Amino acid sequence: MKPDQQDGRPAPFTSPECDLRDFAFMPLDVARLRDSELASSETPESCWAAVLLWCASWHQLPAGSIPNEDMWIAKAAGYALRGKIDKSWKTVRAGALRGWVECSDGRLYHPVVCEKARESWKAKLRQRWNTECGRIKKHNERHAGANVPKPSFEEWMSQGCPQGQPLFVPSDTGDSPPVHPPNVPGETPSKGQGEGQGQGELTTSVPDGTGGPPPALTPEQMTKMEIWHAGKAMLEAQGMAKAVCGSFIGKLCKDYGDQIVLEAVRAAAVKQPADAAEYLKATCQGIAGQRPRPNRQEALEHSNRSAAEQAAAEITGGTS
C-alpha cells in the first residue's frame, strides 16, 4: 500500500525529477498574490517570510517543496542564526507556512509554487525534445535513407526523454570505408584533410545485400557517438563551422577524456548555455579539478552583491 493510502497524505505535487536549480527566475502571479488571503490576513513579516520560502522551494528537489524541518524552514525564512531559531519565529510561522501541504514523502509542498514549477519543468523538457528532434533532422539530412522518425513530445516523454542515443545509419555503398571516431581528432596530419566531410563521424553498417540491422555498438562507441552528435549539433546551432566543431570536440576528448566530455555535453544539453563552447571547456576543467565548475546561481548572487555594495557606497557618499 502506498504511503498516501496509509495516512491520507496526498502524493507529491511535483515529480521527483523536477529540477529547476538552473532556473534563476521564478514566475510570480502579481494579481493572484495581491488578492490572496496571505496578503490580506497576515502580517508583513509573515508575508515576507512566506515569499522567501517560496523562493527556497524553487531550487529544491523536487521543485516546489521544502523539508518538514523547523530549523531548516526558520533559516530559509530568515529567522535562524548560528543554529538557533529566533524567538519571533513563533509569531510568523503560521502565516509563513500558509498553504503548504505535507505529502506522502514527508516534505511540504506549496500548490501554487508547484503549479508554476510543473509548467517550467514541462517547458524545460520541451526544449530538450526540440534539441533532440533537431539532432534527428540533421542526422537524416546527412545520411541518405536513414529516415529516423522524430517522436512526438508525448512519445518522447513516454520513452523516458532519451537524448543523444545512437541513430541508425543505412548500409554503406562500398565507395568509401566507414569512418570511425578518432582518438585524437583535434589535430590532422595535413591541414584541411577531412574537414567538413563528417570527420570523426561514427557509423554502423552491414555488408551490402545482407538486409540485416546495424551491428551492436560497444559502450565506448556509444559514448563517442553521443559526444560527437550531441556536442557538434549544439556547437553548430550556435554558429560554429562544422570543421571547427569537430576539431573543438576532438581537442576536448584528447585533453580530458571521453567520459568527462560526455558529462559536460549532457550538462550543456540541460542548461542550454549562451556560449556552449566556453561552457563545455569550463565544465571539463571543473570536472578535472582544474577550476571550479560554472555555477549560474553563484554568478547571479555575486552580481547582486556587487550591485548592492555599489548602491550602498553611492548612498553613503551622498549623505556624507
Mean pLDDT of the chain: 77
Tell me phi and psi for residue 258, to 5 degrees.
-65, -40
Which residue, among 30, 97, 24, 26, has the nearest Cα to 66 in the 3D structure?
97
Ranked by mean pLDDT, the top range of 29-38, 55-64, 231-240, 286-295 is 55-64
Q: For the chain, what percent of residues have pLDDT higher than 90?
A: 24
Here the cell at position 195 is: 574537414
The C-alpha cell at 304 is 547582486
Q: Cα(243)–Cα(226) distance, rounded to whole angstroms?
A: 18
Q: Domain segments of the chain: what residues?
A: 3-118
pLDDT digits (tens, 9 = 90+) for 125-139: 888 888 888 888 888
Residue 225 pLDDT exceeds 80? no
Query: What pLDDT does 209 receive?
Result: 43
Whole-prediction pTM value? Answer: 0.49
Query: What nine digits make up the cell of 125?
Result: 523538457
Report yes or no: 252 and 282 within 8 Å, Cβ to Cβ. Answer: no
Q: Which three cell numbers stand for residue 281?
A: 571547456
**Which residues partner with 66 through β-bridges?**
108
- Of 166-175, 193-202, 204-213, 237-246, where does mean pLDDT reach its minimum? 193-202
DSSP readout, 166-229? ----PPP-SSSPPP---SSTTS-SSTTTTTTTTTT-------TT--PPPPPPPHHHHHHHHHHH
Three cell numbers at 140?
Answer: 537524416
The pLDDT of 162-185, averaged and rounded, is 56
How many other C-beta atoms lie within 10 A of the C-beta of residue 170? 15
